[in-house]
Amino acid sequence: FNAFCRWCGAFIPSISALPAADEHVALYIISIAKDYKSSSKIQLAIHSISWAHQLAGLKDPCESALVKLTKEGAIRETSKPVVKKEPITPDHLKLLVQRYKSNNLYNMRTLCMCLLGFAGFLRFSELANIRLMDVSFNDVCMKINIVKSKTDVYKEGHELCIARTHGDTCPVHTLEEYISLLGVEVNSSDYLFRSLTFCKNANVYKVRRDNRPLSYTRAREIVLHAFGEIGLDKSKFGIHSLRSGGATAAAAAGINDRLFKKHGRWRSEKAKDGYVRESIQEKLFVTQNLGI
C-alpha cells in the first residue's frame, strides 16, 4: 500500500491514495503490469489497496467493475506457465538409502529429511519446525504432532501417523537411528533438524548448541546435493519434490481420497490434485477405454 501511495504522490498535483478513485487504481494496475510483468505483484497490489480501505471504513475501489476488469486483463497478459518440480520416487529413495545410511550424523540427517518429507507429505515449514517432543514411537508407527501448518491458521494441530514399513527405506526406523546419533534428550524442545558442526579431533559431526531449525536455503542445498549424488538433474527437483513424490505414490496406489487429503493437510481437492503427477499409462487409460 505504501508503494501505491508513492505512485499517487508522484503526480502533480498528487492524487488521493485513501480514498482512491476507481480509475486511479485501474491505472496503477496497468502501471504494475508494464513495470513488473508479474501477476503476483498485481494480486498483492489489489489486496493491499482493498485492505487499507476496509481498515479505514471506506468504500473499496477494488470492488468496482472497472478495477475488476482491468485486473483480469492485466493478469491474463502477465501470467506465465507454472513449471513444477519433478516428484521424487520410491526408487530414488532406495538409492539415497544405499548411499547415505551410515553412522554419520550428517548423512543420516539428510536421509531422514528426505524420508520424512516423502512419507509425511511434509512442507518445508512443517519439516523444519518438528521438535523432538513432537515425535513419539510405538511398535506399529510413529506419531508426529504438526503444531503449525500453512492450512492450520488457528493452530489446532494435526497428528501425523507414519507406519513402520520394516524395509530399508522405513522412515520410522531411520528416524530412530538418527535420534540416537544426535545424543540429546528425546522429549526435549530441541528442533529435530538443526545445524551441525564438524569436530576435526574426533572426526565426527555434532549438533550445534544453539537450538535453531535449519534455514530453507541450507536445507535446500543439502537435499539438492543428495539428489545430485544419485544422478538426478538438480534443476528439475526441489524440497517440494518430496511432498509431491509422496502424493504421487499414494495416488498411484489408489489411496482413499479422504485419507489422502487428511494425511497431506490439504484444504481443497484442487490443491491436492496439483501435487499428483500421472504416469503415461494413466494418461493413456482414458483414450484406451473409449471404444474406438
Distance, in Å, from the CA atom of 235 to the CA atom of 274, rounded to the nearest integer, reads 20
Distance, in Å, from the CA atom of 191 to the CA atom of 113, rounded to the nearest integer, reads 13
Q: CA distances (Å), 129 to each of 23, 59, 285, 291, in order?
A: 45, 41, 41, 51
Q: Considering the chain, what is the average pLDDT of its residues?
A: 89
Angle formed by the axes of helices 22-36 and 2-9, to 10°? 100
Which range, 114-118, 156-160, 179-183, 205-209, is most confident? Answer: 114-118
Distance, in Å, from the CA atom of 16 to the CA atom of 44, rounded to the nearest integer, reads 19
pLDDT digits (tens, 9 = 90+) for 45-62: 999 999 999 999 999 999
The model's pTM is 0.77
Contact 192, 135 (CB under 8 A): yes
Give residue 154's pLDDT. 55
* Residue among 201, 182, 202 nearest 192 (CA): 182
Please work out, in degrees rounded to the nearest 5, the angle formed at the alpha carbon of residue 115 by the alpha carbons of 109 and 118.
135
Count of residues for the chain?
292
pLDDT digits (tens, 9 = 90+) for 54-96: 999 999 999 999 999 999 999 999 888 878 889 999 999 999 9
